[in-house]
Amino acid sequence: NNHSVFNFCAGPAALPKPVMQQAQAEFLDWRGLGVSVMEVSHRSSEYQELANKAESDFRELLKISDDYAVLFMHGGATHQFSNLPMCLLSDGQEAEYIVNGVWSSKAAVEATRYGQVNRIDALFKQGSSFSLIDSSDWQRSQSPIYTHYTQNETIEGLRFPQAVKSNGAVVADMSSSILSEVLNIDDYDFIYAGAQKNVGPAGMTIVIVKRQLVEQMDFTRIPRVFNYQLQIEQGSMLNTPPTYTWYLAALVFEWVIANGGVEAMEHSAIEKSQLLYECIDMDDFYTNPVEIQYRSRMNIPFILADSKLNETFLSKAKKAGLIGLKGHRSVGGMRASLYNSMPVDGVKALVDFMLHFKQQNG
């Protein structure tokens, strides 16, 4: 029974039910055209209208000024952390990478092809728990071209509570946290976020880039489709964009606006994550490895004291309609992702299940 399932998958992740229902209702007949939105030209006036509305809704949600361009790019966050150093970094120049987990580490490796990388290992592991090394103890670069960090590490479940400062440009991967907390966009020069968590299905990544930063980039050896300046000039339509993903993203933005905007999403994320952390922290049947001030609101890993119970936990959870809880292979145990689309009732159902499971197996 689909209606009682709560999906805790880290990504591709659950989308808001009303969005899915609207997409279903207009699947075969979009705007009375008699065809699906995925069957129309991206150059049609109807689609152009959708694309423009999506951008203006997104700008409104995050209060993005005209000093920044917003791009809807093909591909994943991986494309962006590969593309950016290719355009911005060259031999003899240095970029700083704050490494606080799997994704920031992968991003750092990509940049080493183009210039010097000052890799700052900021993850501090102590036994089975981890934390961040205080930024005053980082070996910072004097004048990096940019500093890259991952605002929310999806696998470790670790979130930077503040924006990182830099002597260069600030670049942030917000794939697993975009639209879940209020941002001061002026703190950043380049933000990218893969769609498949808080925005829509996979296949598209949103880029927020300060126009000044684009002026610093060198595109002479860059293919046209990866050229940020050209993509800005062409409204992200230098070639055919991922039109259906963009359409679903547009519906998600409308849903976020209708539900109180990013402030309301942040409020709800705090409430939902607290409910789950309280349950985990009750005793040592369940544990979350992350120091409290760095805990993610979106991705919450937890391990069972007795890992032999993992399979039973997962199969019983599935029977109870709670799916997508298997932890990442590098951390083990479980992980519950609580993106914007997760209703508080889903978290309550998970907590009830966990308490019951503990009672039976503790």
Which residues of the shown chain bind ligand PMP in the complex (CB under 6 A)? 11, 76-78, 103, 150, 154, 173, 175-176, 194
Q: Which residue type occupies 306?
A: D
> Whole-number minimum distance, CB 310 to ligand PMP, in Å?
21
What's the CA gap between 243 and 148, in Å, rounded?
Answer: 29
Q: From the CB of 331, what's the least distance to ligand PMP, in Å?
A: 13
Q: Which amino acid is at 63?
A: K
Instruction: Give the nearest distance from C-beta 202 to ligand PMP in angstroms.
Output: 6
Q: To the nearest whole angstrom, how small is the minimum distance from the Cβ of residue 151 to ligand PMP?
A: 8
Shortest spacing between CB 329 and ligand PMP, in angstroms:
13
Is 103 marked active-site? yes
177 within 8 A of 262, measured Cβ to Cβ: no
Nearer Cβ to ligand PMP, position 141 or 196? 196
> How, if at all, do strands 286-287 and 169-173 pair?
unpaired
Return the number of the residue (155 or 280) whose C-beta is nearest ligand PMP: 155
- In the complex with ligand PMP, the residue whose CB is nearer, 77 or 209, is 77
Of 296, 335, 301, 330, the C-alpha closest to 151 is 296
Say which of 30, 57, 103, 210 is annotated catalytic. 103
The catalytic position among 30, 57, 173, 272 is 173
E-assigned strand segments in the chain: 6-7, 68-74, 94-99, 116-121, 123-126, 129-132, 146-150, 152-153, 158-159, 169-173, 190-194, 204-210, 286-287, 299-304, 322-323, 334-337
Is the CA virtual torsion 203, 208, 209, 211 positive or negative? positive
CB of 82 or CB of 243, closer to ligand PMP: 82
Count how many residues are written for the chain.
362
Structure-block tokens of residue 42: 């991206």
User: In the complex, what is the shortest distance from the CB of residue 74 to ligand PMP, in angstroms, rounded to a whole number?
Assistant: 11
Nearer to ligand PMP, 81 or 313 (CB): 81
Q: How far apart are the first and last CA of the chain?
A: 30
Q: Which residue is nearest to ligand PMP (CB)?
A: 76
Q: Which is nearer to ligand PMP, 53 or 113 (CB)?
A: 113
Which of 197, 210, 272, 326 is catalytic? The answer is 197
Q: Dihedrals φ, ψ of 141, to 5°? A: -80, 150
Answer whether 235's CB lies under 8 Å from 51's CB: yes
Catalytic residue list contains 173: yes
Residues 6 or more apart whose CB falls under 8 angstroms from that of 272 comprise: 297, 338, 342, 344, 347
Active site positions, annotated: 103, 173, 197
